[in-house]
Amino acid sequence: MSEIPGEYQDLFEKETFAHVVTMSPEDKPHSTPVWVDYDADDDRILVNTERHRRKAQNVERDPTVAVSMTDPENPYRFLSVTGEVDEVTTEGAREHIDELARRYMGEDEYPQPIESERIILRIRPDEVLTGG
């Protein structure tokens, strides 16, 4: 297991968009741009989504994922992680999406209707690559 280096944790405090890659039932990669967060105490990347979304369904079958992001202020500075979703939880998911809406949109609450159930994918980093 690898850790997210301290000097790259600021990426999770900015409006950094990440791309999350999951594997489809046909073993084809599925890439989605997402808002991203980080639990430094548990060294987990957090992705908030809805249970009915394709990425959520994919990780139920195969928890292997890849996450990559570039610094919005310096596109040559990047963080790339390969790991596994080791927990899917609803606990705090609604509050978490509101927190992300404040960071990414300047909104107090997530403005989109929730179609199913908010969940948080907690990603354990197994391999970490950095640059820039």
Transcribe 11-66 into DSSP letters. GGTTT-EEEEEEE-TTS-EEEEEEE-EEETTTTEEEEEEETTSHHHHHHHH--EEE
**Confidence class for position 24, pLDDT limits 50, 70, 90:** very high
CATH number at residue 11: 2.30.110.10
Within-domain flag for 1: no
- Total domains in the fold of the chain: 1
Q: pTM for this one?
A: 0.94
Instruction: Give the domain extent around 97.
Output: 6-131
* pLDDT tens figures, 34-83: 999 999 999 999 999 999 999 999 999 999 999 999 999 999 999 999 99
Q: Which two tokens stand for residue 44?
A: 């987990």
The widest CA-to-CA distance across the chain, in whole angstroms, is: 39
* pLDDT tens figures, 5-18: 999 999 999 999 99
Nearest-angstrom CA–CA distance, 55 and 34: 11
**Confidence class for position 92, pLDDT limits 50, 70, 90:** very high
